[in-house]
Chains A and B, each alone.
Chain A
Amino acid sequence: MDTLALYIHIPFCLKRCGYCDFNSYTQLEYVPSYMDSLKREISFYSSLKRKITSVYIGGGTPTVLGERELSSLIDAIHKGFDLSPDLEFTVEANPETVTAGKLKVLKEGGVNRISFGLQSLKDELLKAIGRIHTAEGFLKKYAMAREAGFDNVNVDLIFGLPGQKVEDFMDTLKKLAGLSPEHISCYSLSVEEGTKFYELQEKGQLLLPSEDEERAMYHSARHFLQENGYSHYEISNFAKAGRESRHNLVYWTYGDYLGLGAGAHSFLDGVRFYNAYGLKDYIDRVKARGEAVENRERISEEEQQAEFMILGLRLVRGVEKTKFFERFKKDLDLVFRQALEKLKDKGLILNEKDRVRLTERGLDLANEVFVEFLP
């Protein structure tokens, strides 16, 4: 039976962060009807004959949900899908909203991976970017998760924040590494339209570190984490041996995934589709027909080949030529001969016998690489 990764979106937050452009709302009064819709949507897709290898509940902030809401959602997932025995089950958590009770519910429901949104261990920065937790708050909840028995924990960080110095970021990283989480994500800040940061930038009031400083943060982080037992496996992701996010690897290896909830995207049998973004719109659609798809697009073979490369090259190990051949019955070297030559000359990729991967420089300039694969 074919496998599938399952994503569930919880589009609620207590407060919007200045940099965030995710599909999330602070109107918590919608939570009950949203959760009902989600469960209906789960049952709609339960006829899919697929083995689920990973579940990822993301947001928003899944931990704004109460214990009962969490447990009934997890129950619905268990009932609706055929879950693999070695399932990776991740839930994203905001330190402020995590409680011992919720952790217990998650653990009992089979959740085996927690992903904390920390961003920084410097309180001034946390406040400036609109986070509702403090460094100390995080440390407490991190310990709580460990006590609850979670032995696979990720922590998200952002670098290149306004006013952030290279030392600030390295300080955060060192303290965090001291806690020894199994997985660390380091995201370069990108200022997206529709965010508070974007407004500030338009007004010239967002004082970001220079490009050189920003890259220094990335390079230092990469170096430091590699020295401390983490392997760099994707542009922004680091993990201890065997602790790479299996769910996210499905995205990067061009596997199939099903996304449920408002605005969630799916990619199934070469078709990409996504749900309505608005809460009400999503709820109404589910009420009317059991699912909430707003648009579907069949991805042509040519586009699929490009996407295969664009996603696969995000992995430090690169794209394996045999995998490309298995999927498209075509030789990667022939399909992308020109692009590969050009990028190799520019020193952005290595074209090895069995794989193509980004050089260190290519990691900084990945978009320059990706555009060359577009049809």
Chain B
Amino acid sequence: MKIPQDRIRNFCIIAHIDHGKTTLSDRLLEYTGTIPEREIKEQVLDMMDLERERGITIKAKAVRMIYRADDGQNYLLNLIDTPGHVDFNYEVSRSLAACEGALLVIDASQGIEAQTLANTYLALEHDLEIIPVINKIDLPGAEPERVKQEIEDVIGLPADDALLISAKEGIGIKEVLEAIVKRIPAPKGSESEPLKALIFDSLYDPYKGAIAFVRIAQGKIEPKQKIKMMSTGKVFEVTEVGIFSPEMVSTDSLSAGEVGYVVAGIKNVKDTRVGDTITDAENPATEPLPGYKKAVPMVFCGVYPADGEDYEKLREAFEKLQLNDASLFFEPETSAALGFGFRCGFLGLLHMEIVQERLEREYGLNLITTAPSVIYKIKMTNGEEMMVDNPTNFPEPSKIEHIEEPYVEASIMLPTEYVGAVMELCQEKRGIFKDMQYLSEKRVLMRYDMPLSEIIYDFFNQLKSRTKGYASLDYELTGYRKSDLCKVDILINGELVDALSFIVHKEKAYARARQLVEKLKEVIPRHLFEIPIQAAIGGRIIARETIKALRKNVLAKCYGGDVTRKKKLLEKQKEGKKRMRQLGKVEVPQEAFMSVLKMG
């Protein structure tokens, strides 16, 4: 039963974390009978455990529903899920490009958040029809009228006909489906034109290879067809196409307006890059769909196995992760302190944390990671320019003409009562105030220009804690600016520990150095000798702590009945030593390397 193109609706849901995107998706699937209620395991669309735990969607997915509308007709609805985090902005934009409309879901008591706003603007740029949906109206703190006003004031969308629902209670679900059918336009594009399919996501399957998730903009795709990736020119032969219902089900073909998947013996997800256009190899389109960008890592860090013997295991784990994550970058790196490991690039901090967590959880690896770094642009005195993403590769201060660092425009939404606290934080983080806009009597939007490096240094956690979790953040890279930066080195027992070096603004160098040496003093156990811990810029020591020598470690009694127990104590001590890294004469626990990350 083929549903004609004029009865297809492709849409996504824009929502802030916890505003109810997943619950609403589940209700839509239930209402349309796509999945029986009992089979919905909380959140169908978020497939990874990690996503479920964090309540966020990392990778976009799609699901197809058939809805019999009030007009008696069957409609085909494709819900394309979007990642909800700033690190995955580009992926969001590709998902939006695959849709004609979006549900803007806003919590009736929380109001609009920074990320929602950013994604709504993105949706408007793509000419999407936006349907405001105010969720959780059943809760005591609900203020739908205030939220409507916010939608009008902040986004500039008429909100009179915003839908008032409670996804949790199942209130207003039918109205949402009717609105999708009535207000979102059917996809355009003709089946007879040359094929153009937008890749909005991909998945690696060990048997089928890289599977591209596509929206057909025009033309038709079917098995045995030769297809071409327009960004690389690579040609593949289609072996299977299908739809998401929500598990993958093969079909005869996919044609203009439809959403589905394509299998074509593609070995690597690098060949199914998000944003790329698939066309027919024999009858190619002249132009690809607009907006393709190669994902560029913005945050870098070193990842090392805690046990040097796990190096190969780590490499294999990275390779496997990369099968599904074309934006993950890694290359071998060696550190004097940490041995063999990898330099890794991520889209942002969350992306970094997710990858690290998956490596530890899914691959059972114990990792040491170095402090995240951005890419610095260094102009040398000899006129050369270099890009540095690792403090270790920083040139000598005397050879540096000046340094530039990436800046972002940060948008922060928060209740008015925290404006003072957030201004203070942004100032501490070298933010330059741009403007402030009242969203309502109680909420404001503040905009700051801020170095990306400050954002990756604990900014989000600080923001959350200083606003009791009420602030939301979004940021966008705006370019490079000159900064007065320097590299701080850490010396333990007189020896430089490369993995602990960090780049910092000169004005903050002293405070951060102090904080770090104090922390190191806490976490490094006492040795048989005194250990100086120093922080230095160039050759100049700017902070110092001393770990006193261990003077006593002896069991006073050991008689016949004590041997077993005392030996256990000694074994524990030995186990502890095993987990340490030997740096010169000093044994340093892994925790020490983590402490650089935790500096405020």
Interface positions of A (Cβ within 8 A of B)? 5, 7, 187-190, 211-212, 214-215, 235-236, 248, 251-252, 257, 259, 263-267, 272, 274, 297, 306-307, 310-311, 314, 346-348, 363-368, 370-371, 374
- Distance between A356 CB and nearest chain B CB, rounded to angstroms: 17
Known: A7-B561, A264-B561, A365-B550. 18 other contacts (CB 8 A): A7-B560, A190-B556, A248-B559, A251-B563, A257-B560, A259-B561, A272-B563, A272-B564, A310-B558, A311-B563, A346-B528, A364-B554, A365-B552, A367-B554, A367-B555, A370-B570, A371-B577, A374-B574
CA distance A266 to B570 in the complex (A): 20
Contact B553–A365 (Cβ < 8 Å): yes
User: Per-residue 0/1 for B506-533: is the Cβ within 8 Å of any A Cβ (1 yes, 0 no)?
Assistant: 0000000000000000000000100000
A248 to B563, CA, bound (A): 13
B160 CB → nearest A CB, Å: 63
B557 CB–A CB distance under 8 Å: yes
B573, A371: Cβ atoms closer than 8 Å: yes
Q: Which residue of A lies closest to B558 (CB)?
A: A314
Per-position contact with A for B276-289: 1 when CB-CB < 8 Å, else 0?
A: 00000000000000
CB-based closest 7 A-B pairs: A265-B561, A188-B556, A366-B554, A187-B556, A367-B553, A371-B574, A251-B560
Q: Is the CB of B570 within 8 A of A215?
A: no
Are A374's CB and B571's CB within 8 A? yes
Q: How far is the CB of A19 from chain B (nearest CB, A)?
A: 11
A374 vs B551: C-alpha distance when bound (angstroms): 22
* A267 & B550 in contact (Cβ 8 Å cutoff): no
Q: What are 23 A-B contacts with C-beta separation under 8 Å?
A: A5-B560, A187-B557, A189-B556, A214-B552, A215-B551, A235-B554, A236-B556, A248-B559, A265-B561, A265-B563, A306-B567, A310-B567, A311-B558, A314-B558, A346-B528, A363-B554, A366-B553, A366-B554, A366-B555, A367-B570, A368-B528, A368-B553, A374-B570
Q: B538-570: contact bitstring with A at CB < 8 Å (1 yes, 0 no)?
A: 000000000000111111111111011001011
Q: How far is the CB of B34 from chain A (nearest CB, A)?
A: 57
| Interface secondary structure of B, over-half rule | loop
Whether A211 pairs with B552 at a CB distance below 8 angstroms is: yes
Which chain B residues border A363 with CB–CB below 8 Å? 554
Chain A contact residues, majority secondary structure? mixed
Residue in chain A with minimal CB distance to B550: A365
A-B contact count (CB 8 A): 89
Cβ-closest chain B residue relative to A21: B565
Chain B min CB distance to A246 (Å): 13
State the CA gap A264–B562 with chains docked (Å). 10
Cβ–Cβ contact B560 & A259, under 8 A: yes
Q: Which chain B residues lie closer than 8 Å to A364 at the CB level?
A: 551-554
A11 CB to closest chain B CB (Å) equals 11
CB neighbours of B567 from chain A (8 A): 306-307, 310, 374
Contact with A along B94-127 (1 / 0, CB 8 A): 0000000000000000000000000000000000
Chain A, residue nearest B529 (CB)? A346
A358: nearest chain-B partner, CB-CB? B554
A236 to B563 alpha-carbon distance, docked (Å)? 16
Closest to B573 in A: A371
B550 to chain A: which residues have CB within 8 Å?
365, 368
Chain A residues near B528: list those with CB within 8 A: 346-348, 365, 368
Q: Which residues of B contact A263 (CB under 8 A)?
A: 561
A88 nearest CB across to chain B (Å): 15
State whether B563 touches A365 (Cβ < 8 A): no
A188 to B552, CA, bound (A): 10
B27 CB, min distance to chain A CBs, angstroms:
51
User: In whole angstroms, how far apart are the Cα atoms of A251 and B564 in the complex?
Assistant: 13
Closest Cβ of chain B to A214, distance in Å, is 7
Known: A215-B551, A371-B570. A265 touches B577 (CB 8 A): no
The residue from B557, B561, B570 contacting A310, defined by CB atoms under 8 A apart? B570
Q: What residues of chain B lie closer than 8 Å to A211, measured between beta carbons?
A: 551-552
**What residues of chain A lie closer than 8 Å to B569, measured between beta carbons?**
367
Which among A187, A211, A212, A307 has the greatest number of chain B C-beta atoms within 10 A?
A211
- Nearest CB of B to A266, in Å: 8
Report Cα–Cα, A267/B567, bound state, in Å.
15
**Nearest CB of A to B546, in Å:** 15
Residue of B nearest to A187 (CB): B556
Nearest A residue to B569, CB-CB: A367
Task: Let me know if B555 and A190 touch, CB within 8 A.
Answer: yes
Residues of B within 8 A of A366 (CB): 553-555
B551/A212 in contact, CB under 8 A: yes
Q: Give chain A residues whose Cβ lies under 8 Å from the Cβ of B557.
A: 187, 190, 236
